[in-house]
Amino acid sequence: MPASTPSPAPPAPTSPADPDAEATTDSALTASAGPDGTRSATEGKPAAQGDTGGTAGPTTERPAPQGDTEHSDDAGDTVDVGGTRSTTAASPAAQDPAGEVAAGETSGAPRRRGAGARLARLRAWRERYPRVARVVWWATTVLSVVLLYLALLLPVPLAGFEPRMLLRLPGEAVVVAAVLTALPRRPRVVVAALGGAGLAALTVVNLLDMGFGSYLGRGFNLVLDWELLDDARSYLADSLGGTTTALLTAGVLASVVALFAGMAAAMVRVGTVLGRDAQKSTRVTLVAGTVWITCSVLTVQLAGQPLTVHRAAGALNAQTDRVRDTLRDEAAFGKEARADRFGNTPAAQLVPDLRGKDVVFTFIESYGRSAIEDPVMAPGVDRTLASSTAALEKAGYRAKSGWLTSATYGGSSWLGHSTTLSGLWIDNQQRYRTVMASDHLSLTKAFRKTGAWDTVGVMPGVQKGWPEQKYYGLDKVYNAFQLGYQGPKFSWSTMPDQYALEAYQRLVHGKQRDKPLMSEIILTSSHQPWAPIPKMVGWDELGDGSVFGPIEKAGRRAGDVIADTTASREEYGKSIQYSVTALTQWLERYGTDDTVLVFLGDHQPISRVSGTHASRDVPISIVAKDPKVLDRIADWGWTDGLRPAHGAPVWKMSAFRDRFLLAYGSTPHPSGG
């Protein structure tokens, strides 16, 4: 007689605690193929030949749906073979949360290891705690949607950010939903994971773009700006300390890794939810797409702003355009740098009207128009400029002042320095490298080319090799370690401006020379984060700078100021007052009848201090005792004194070199076409 067959058992139900399972059961399964090409699944271990104690478990068979067939060796997966799908009820052993005996195993068989065992334990836990599992499922799904939604709304401005800016419907979300709904399961998982990683990369670039916009007034350049991240790390180390910076760096790197993993997982999760009911997801996607297009055409607004946006696509397009423009600009600017209005001017025809004068070009860090006109900073700075003007006049000096529009904003001071002295618009790192490697005549090198001046640089902010010395034509450069300073650092600034000027006097300006002196000095005490700020001490008390120790200890800490807008603005204004006071007192004390001082800002402070709509203008002043020096620029229309009037002329910073050379008698002889 043929062996008896057990009556069919009903299919094992799908666990309600596993909403994301697609056409699978939550039970651990084993399967055996029948001779007719179908596969039946059994509960526990199928009886083997000769096994007197075993009986076959109940089986069920149902036709498999058309389309992809699924096969998995993991417990709890269905197996489709030959057009039929077989499942079994869960073995009690498979539901053991400890996984001591997995589905399809006997106590004497080897334990299942790896992903199958972990999946079995997870599904057993879901069956044991269905409510908790459902809460976890909904929580992770909602978090996934929120993460993707926020990523698709970037970039947003940091300055002036308002929560209502997030009340938008990103068009990219509709496209992503349509693609994930249309794909079969396995391609959908792959596409979702890759798409999530790509969105994470775009998010990182968008966050950098937001940071650069807030601090430097421009977007992040994928080609040129990666090296500036190391400068940012150095700035934080100088401002907040090495340990804090190391922890912040590690945190940022960990966050980036977590962002990539989280974004990929979130996209897969959303794709899984959409794939559970493709017909319903398709209908919802069509409705959302119709709503988006309608609102976009009708320019529907919510909270005073357009409801529909496509920021992610716009950000990607902006980065693509920026990269293309950068590559084009490199070639075009190289040609521009080779052309020089004074490139072939003989030495005897360069600045003849300044012969015999000691000329000092001084850049004051972050000295921008906001320092003079902003209602928070201006009162103190204006008082300092007024009192300094009066003191200089008492010492026999006169001044004229105007405005220059800087090539940079919030940082990258070297771009402002090079633009002023080269006569070229240098607003990115590639242009800077191009100019530094060229023969284009810098204003400082013009003095050296004459052979009538000794040239020197005082750079307290330089703490490593500085190959730019050659381009600027400086015979000698004193860096942070060559000025004899033994006092404390003031955040990023290696030494107070007063000390740097006194060291310049001791090492260079106060010595007897055969030739007059042309100097370039960079003052750094007004560099962010503007805490602690040095105070003026008696010039005879400076010594090696140790006198600043108690002042530094009593000052505000960078961490207390760097993230506080009001405190940053107040302390920034005080730092400008300090730098201007130190410079003008040095001139009163050590200047001569032949001293000509040109001082200016390199850029505006960051937007958190200067404001979201601030210009890029910086003040510039020329101070001298000899009235002929200022007579040469009488037709410039500049304001008398150290404070330029609001309506004083505004030139691009790149125009200053040629105007200065022409004003003091230089004759153009172009080179390079």
Place of tokens 């979300």: 173
Look at 17 and 283; give whichever has higher pLDDT: 283
Sheet order of strands, 79-81 included: 60-63, 84-87, 79-81
In the prediction, which pLDDT does 119 show? 77
Give the mean model confidence (pLDDT) for residues 653-671.
95
For the stretch 519-574, pLDDT in tens is: 999 999 999 889 999 999 999 999 999 999 999 999 888 878 877 888 889 999 99
pLDDT 10s digits, 586-645: 999 999 999 999 999 999 998 888 877 889 999 999 999 999 999 999 999 999 999 999
Q: Residue 67's pLDDT is what? A: 38
Stretch 67-86: mean pLDDT: 38
Two structure tokens written together for 476 = 């000698």
The Cα–Cα gap between 605 and 257 comes to 32
Q: Please tell me the pTM assigned to this model.
A: 0.73
Name the pLDDT band for 243 (thresholds 50, 70, 90).
Answer: confident
pLDDT of amino acid 113? 61
| β-bridge pairing 84-87 and 79-81 | antiparallel
Contacts of 181 (CB under 8 A, 6+ apart): 274, 275, 278, 281, 282, 285
Place 159 in a pLDDT band, splitting at 50, 70 and 90: low
pLDDT tens profile 8-42 = 444 444 444 444 444 343 333 333 334 333 443 33
CA–CA dist 523, 507 (Å, integer): 17
> 66 Cβ partners below 8 Å, 6+ apart?
none
Question: What is the predicted pLDDT for the residue at 94?
Answer: 38
Pairing of strands 398-405, 305-306: unpaired
Bridge partner residues of 619 (DSSP): 403
Q: Which two tokens stand for residue 112?
A: 């299942």
Angle, CA 465 vertex, CA 421 and CA 357 arms, to 5°: 40
E strand segments, 494-540: 517-523
Q: How far is it, in rounded angstroms, from Cα 617 to Cα 467?
A: 29
pLDDT, residue 300, reads: 83
- Backbone φ and ψ for 191, nearest 5 degrees, come out as -65, -40
pLDDT of 35 reads: 37
Contacts of residue 198, defined as CB under 8 A and 6 or more positions apart, other chains included, come to none
**Whole-number mean pLDDT of the chain?**
82
Q: How far does Cα 66 stand from its chain's mean position?
A: 50
Q: Which residues are registered as beta bridge partners of 63? A: 84
**CB of 522 within 8 A of CB of 363?**
yes
pLDDT above 80 (res 356): yes
Share of the chain above pLDDT 70, in %: 82
Residue 552 token pair: 């530094």
Task: Give residue-wise pLDDT tens across range 363-408.
Answer: 999 999 999 999 889 999 999 999 999 999 999 999 999 999 999 9
Where does the pLDDT of residue 50 fall: very low under 50, low under 70, confident under 90, or very high at 90 and above? very low
Question: Which has the minimum average pLDDT: 6-10, 180-184, 329-333, 480-484?
Answer: 6-10
Q: Which residue type occupies 499? A: Y
Residue 52 has pLDDT above 70, yes or no: no
User: Are 407 and 429 a contacting pair, CB within 8 Å?
Assistant: no
Model confidence band, residue 167 (pLDDT cutoffs 50, 70, 90): confident
The Cα 314–Cα 19 span in angstroms is: 36
Q: Tell me the CA distances in angstroms from 224 to 12, 22, 325, 330, one per residue in order.
A: 60, 47, 12, 11
